[in-house]
């Protein structure tokens, strides 16, 4: 009997085709028809605090910084205040990521979120009408094994259009060796990217990450001294590794949106109207709390 003819060799897979197939077939919560998800560039011609080329850099890279916001003694005061907040959360049995959405109850956080220097920078990127709708300390303790999987913030936020800029304000010095945030510059221009579940062993603080992120560009980390901040787009791909050092790495993220942004899930309820106008009075305004009351349930807006 004649042996059956050998099957034609499979055409060699093109890695780019593979990536496109993976992207196309992945379960995704990234694309949502309710979200107008396209990067909205800042206007370099209208920049007042940033130089026009810094606005251009934000438009092309999706992140700019570092910016020195607090001097050494103010940075120390920020850290001391955060240490006290963390101690009270830990006394309630909570972990170092639990301080999420407490700007309505903690003057320390409210003051950080309304820092005029940061608002000046943000204004040049999203315009003069600014609300801060979320705040979250990402605090990696020494030796903390948690990662933050590669993600785009906008995926997790029921907000449209994608016009939120995050200030990542360093409470501690932050760099690659203590799990500093990494970004893929330019990735904000890909629009929403599909995500897949992360296996448990990745110890991902989020539960999933962007598929094929490693094909989208080379990761970069902007080292920050305590008191400095970066500003990043809600479509920028970013994440972080475990803290393999003995140095704590804490940063406060403040989410600033143009007041014209809308939510389809009532995420307008815990904001600070920071600057300019909110003509429709859409965003609630939390006035400055008298002191720090780090108690009660977290408002889990934007836990990523
Ligand atoms: O601080 C980190 O490691 C991640 C921060 C982050 O995911 C964010 O700013 O959205």
What's the 295 CA to ligand 1 centre distance in angstroms?
Answer: 23
pLDDT of res. 33: 86
Q: 272-293 pLDDT, tens per residue?
A: 999 999 999 999 999 999 999 8
With 80 as the cut, is the pLDDT of residue 3 above it? no
Pocket of ligand 1 (CB under 6 A): 138, 148, 153, 166, 168, 181, 238, 240, 251, 253, 304
Fold of 29-275: Jelly Rolls (2.60.120)
Q: Work out the average pLDDT over 57-74.
A: 98
User: Which ligand 1 atom is the nearest neighbour of the CA of 168?
Assistant: 9
Q: Whose CA is nearest to atom 9 of ligand 1?
A: 253
Q: 40-59 pLDDT, tens per residue?
A: 999 999 999 999 999 999 99
What backbone torsions phi and psi does residue 63 show, to the nearest 5 degrees? -155, 145
Predicted confidence band at 5 (pLDDT cuts at 50, 70, 90)?
very low
Q: Whose CA is nearest to atom 8 of ligand 1?
A: 304
Predicted confidence band at 32 (pLDDT cuts at 50, 70, 90)?
confident
pLDDT of res. 180: 98
3 state SS for 266-292: CCCCCCEEEECCCCCCCCCCCCCCCCE
Predicted confidence band at 4 (pLDDT cuts at 50, 70, 90)?
very low
Q: If we measure between CA atoms, which residue out of 128, 130, 122 comes closest to residue 274? A: 130
């Amino acid at each position: 009997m004649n042996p059956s003819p050998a099957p034609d060799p499979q055409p060699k897979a093109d890695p780019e085709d593979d990536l496109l197939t993976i992207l196309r077939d992945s379960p995704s919560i990234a694309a949502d028809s309710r979200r107008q998800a396209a990067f909205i560039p800042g206007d370099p011609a209208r920049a007042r605090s940033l130089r026009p080329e810094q606005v251009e850099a934000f438009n092309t890279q999706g992140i700019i910084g570092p910016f020195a916001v607090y001097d050494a003694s103010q940075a120390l005061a920020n850290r001391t205040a955060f240490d006290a907040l963390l101690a009270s959360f830990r006394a309630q049995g909570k972990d170092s990521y639990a301080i999420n959405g407490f700007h309505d109850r903690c003057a320390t956080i409210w003051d950080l979120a309304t820092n005029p220097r940061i608002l000046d920078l943000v204004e040049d990127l999203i315009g003069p009408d600014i609300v801060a709708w979320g705040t979250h300390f990402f605090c990696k303790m020494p030796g903390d094994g948690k990662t933050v999987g590669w993600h785009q913030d906008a995926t997790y936020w029921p907000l449209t259009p994608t016009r939120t800029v995050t200030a990542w304000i360093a409470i501690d010095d932050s760099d690659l060796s203590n799990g500093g945030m990494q970004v893929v510059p330019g990735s904000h221009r890909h629009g929403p990217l599909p995500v897949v579940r992360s296996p448990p062993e990745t110890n991902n603080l989020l539960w999933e990450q962007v598929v094929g992120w490693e094909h989208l560009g080379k990761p970069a980390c902007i080292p920050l001294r305590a008191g400095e901040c970066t500003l990043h787009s809600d479509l920028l791909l970013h994440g972080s590794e475990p803290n393999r050092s003995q140095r704590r790495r804490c940063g406060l993220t403040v989410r600033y949106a143009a007041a014209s942004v809308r939510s389809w899930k009532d995420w307008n309820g815990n904001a600070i109207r920071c600057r300019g106008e909110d003509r429709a009075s859409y965003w609630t305004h939390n006035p400055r709390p008298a002191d720090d009351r780090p108690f009660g349930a977290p408002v889990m807006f934007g836990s990523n």
